[in-house]
Structure 1
Amino acid sequence: MADVNGVQPESPRKRLKNDPPTNKVTVVLGAQWGDEGKGKVVDMLAMSSDVVCRCQGGNNAGHTVVVDDAEYDFHILPSGIINPSAVSLIGNGVVVHLGQMFEEIEKNEAKGLKDWKDRLLISDRAHIVFDFHQSVDGLQEQERSKDSSGTKTLGTTKKGIGPCYSSKAGRHGLRMADLLGEYSVFEQRLRNLVDSHQRMFPELQVDIEEEVKKYKIYAERMRPLVTNCIAYVHKCLQGTKKVLVEGANAAMLDIDFGTYPYVTSSNCSVGGVCTGLGIPPRYIGDVYGVVKAYTTRVGVGPFPTELNDDIGQLLQSRGAEYGVTTKRPRRCGWLDVVLLRHTNMVNGYSAIALTKLDILDVLKELKIGIGYFRKNRERIEHFPADMGELEDITVEYITMPGWLEDTSHCRSFEDLPKNARNYVEKIEELINVPVKWIGVGKARASMITVF
Structure 2
Amino acid sequence: MANVAVVGAQWGDEGKGKVVDWLSERADVVVRFQGGHNAGHTLVINGVTYKLSLLPSGVVRGKLSLIGNGVVVDPWALLDEIDRLCAQGVAITPDVLKVAENACLILPLHAQIDRAREEASGAAKIGTTGRGIGPAYEDRVGRRAIRVCDLNCRATLEARIEGLLRHHNALLRGLGAAEIDGQDLLEKLLAVAPRILPYADVVWQRLDELRHTRKRVLFEGAQGAMLDVDHGTYPFVTSSSTVSGNAGTGSGVGPGQVGYVLGICKAYTTRVGAGPFPTELFDPIGERIGDRGHEFGTVTGRRRRCGWFDAVLVRQAVKVGGIDGIALTKLDVLDGFEELKICIGYRLGDKVLRHLPASMAEQPLVEPIYESLPGWSESTRGARSWKDLPASAIKYIRRIEELIEAPVALLSTSPEREDTILVQDPFST
Instruction: Name the TM-score, length of structure 2 as normaliser.
Output: 0.96
| Structure 2 equivalent of residue 102 of structure 1 | 79
| Residues in 2 aligned to 1:380 and 1:418: alpha-carbon distance in whole angstroms | 31
| Residues in 1 aligned to 2:281 and 2:307: alpha-carbon distance in whole angstroms | 5
| Structure 2 equivalent of residue 164 of structure 1 | 136
| Structure 1 equivalent of residue 125 of structure 2 | 153
Residue 138 of structure 1: which of 99, 106, 115 is its match?
115
**Post-superposition CA distance 1:16-55 (Å, at most 9, x none):** xxxxxxx642100000000000001100111121110011
Name the SS of the counterpart of 1:88 in structure 2.
strand
**Post-superposition CA distance 1:307-355 (Å, at most 9, x none):** 0000000011000101111111100000001101111111121111000
Residue 125 of structure 1: which of 89, 102, 112 is its match?
102
Q: Answer with 247-256 or 231-240: which moved more.
A: 231-240
Identity of aligned residues (%): 43
Compute the displacement of 1:425 (Å).
0.8
Amino acid of the residue matched to residue 230 of structure 2? D
Structure 2 residue 329 is matched with structure 1 residue 351: no
Residue ranges of structure 2 left out of the alignment (5+ in a row)? 425-429
Residue 415 of structure 1: which of 388, 407, 417 is its match?
388
**Alpha carbons 1:412, 1:450 under 8 Å: kept:** no
| Structure 1 equivalent of residue 427 of structure 2 | none
| Residues in 2 aligned to 1:427 and 1:116: alpha-carbon distance in whole angstroms | 42
Which residues in structure 2 correspond to 1:309-324 (within 5 Å)? 309-324=283-298
Compute the displacement of 1:393 (Å).
2.5
| Residues in 2 aligned to 1:24 and 1:447: alpha-carbon distance in whole angstroms | 20
**Alpha carbons 1:24, 1:237 under 8 Å: kept:** no
Aligned residue pairs: how many?
Answer: 421
**Alpha carbons 2:332, 2:414 under 8 Å: kept:** yes
Residue 89 of structure 1: which of 62, 66, 73 is its match?
66
Amino acid of the residue matched to residue 142 of structure 2? G
Structure 2 residue 27 is matched with structure 1 residue 49: yes
Q: Answer with 202-211 or 168-177: which moved more.
A: 202-211
Q: Answer with 254-263 or 407-416: which moved more.
A: 407-416
**Post-superposition CA distance 1:46-77 (Å, at most 9, x none):** 11211100111100101000001210111111
| Residues in 2 aligned to 1:88 and 1:112: alpha-carbon distance in whole angstroms | 17
**Alpha carbons 1:187, 1:212 under 8 Å: kept:** yes
**Alpha carbons 2:148, 2:197 under 8 Å: kept:** no
| Residues in 2 aligned to 1:29 and 1:64: alpha-carbon distance in whole angstroms | 15
| Residues in 2 aligned to 1:272 and 1:64: alpha-carbon distance in whole angstroms | 23
Structure 2 residue 61 is matched with structure 1 residue 65: no
Name the SS of the counterpart of 1:354 in structure 2.
strand
Compute the displacement of 1:108 (Å).
1.7
**Post-superposition CA distance 1:168-202 (Å, at most 9, x none):** 1111111111112x212212322331342111112
| Residues in 2 aligned to 1:25 and 1:234: alpha-carbon distance in whole angstroms | 13
**Alpha carbons 1:135, 1:204 under 8 Å: kept:** no
| Residues in 2 aligned to 1:24 and 1:123: alpha-carbon distance in whole angstroms | 23
| Residues in 2 aligned to 1:188 and 1:368: alpha-carbon distance in whole angstroms | 55
Name the SS of the counterpart of 2:370 in structure 1.
strand
| Structure 2 equivalent of residue 373 of structure 1 | 347
| Structure 1 equivalent of residue 3 of structure 2 | 25
Residue 276 of structure 1: which of 250, 256, 262 is its match?
250
Amino acid of the residue matched to residue 437 of structure 1? L
Q: Answer with 195-204 or 245-254: which moved more.
A: 195-204
**Post-superposition CA distance 1:146-186 (Å, at most 9, x none):** 6xxxxx11100111000001111111111111112x21221
- Structure possessing the higher radius of gyration over alpha carbons: 1
**Alpha carbons 2:59, 2:92 under 8 Å: kept:** no
Structure 2 residue 162 is matched with structure 1 residue 191: yes
Instruction: Name the TM-score, length of structure 1 as normaliser.
Output: 0.91
Structure 2 residue 221 is matched with structure 1 residue 231: no
| Structure 1 equivalent of residue 151 of structure 2 | 179
Compute the displacement of 1:206 (Å).
3.0
Amino acid of the residue matched to residue 339 of structure 1? L
**Alpha carbons 1:353, 1:436 under 8 Å: kept:** yes
Residue 56 of structure 2: which of 68, 78, 99 is its match?
78
| Residues in 2 aligned to 1:359 and 1:117: alpha-carbon distance in whole angstroms | 39
Amino acid of the residue matched to residue 314 of structure 2? L
Residue 407 of structure 2: which of 418, 434, 446 is its match?
434
**Alpha carbons 1:42, 1:246 under 8 Å: kept:** yes
Name the SS of the counterpart of 2:418 in structure 1.
helix
Which residues in structure 2 correspond to 1:288-307 (within 5 Å)? 288-307=262-281
**Alpha carbons 1:413, 1:450 under 8 Å: kept:** no
| Structure 2 equivalent of residue 14 of structure 1 | none
Name the SS of the counterpart of 1:210 in structure 2.
helix
**Alpha carbons 2:344, 2:354 under 8 Å: kept:** no
Compute the displacement of 1:205 (Å).
4.0
Name the SS of the counterpart of 2:278 in structure 1.
coil
| Structure 2 equivalent of residue 446 of structure 1 | 419
| Structure 2 equivalent of residue 39 of structure 1 | 17
**Alpha carbons 1:136, 1:204 under 8 Å: kept:** no
Residue 178 of structure 2: which of 190, 204, 208 is its match?
204
Name the SS of the counterpart of 2:376 in structure 1.
coil
Residue 382 of structure 1: which of 342, 355, 369 is its match?
355
**Post-superposition CA distance 1:257-283 (Å, at most 9, x none):** 000000000000012112111211111
Compute the displacement of 1:222 (Å).
1.9
**Alpha carbons 1:34, 1:297 under 8 Å: kept:** yes
Amino acid of the residue matched to residue 417 of structure 2? R
**RMSD between aligned alpha carbons?**
1.3
Name the SS of the counterpart of 1:224 in structure 2.
helix
Structure 1 residues 279, 209: CA separation in 2 closer, same or farther (over 3 Å shift)?
same
Structure 1 residues 24, 418: CA separation in 2 closer, same or farther (over 3 Å shift)?
closer
Compute the displacement of 1:409 (Å).
3.2
Structure 2 residue 83 is matched with structure 1 residue 111: no
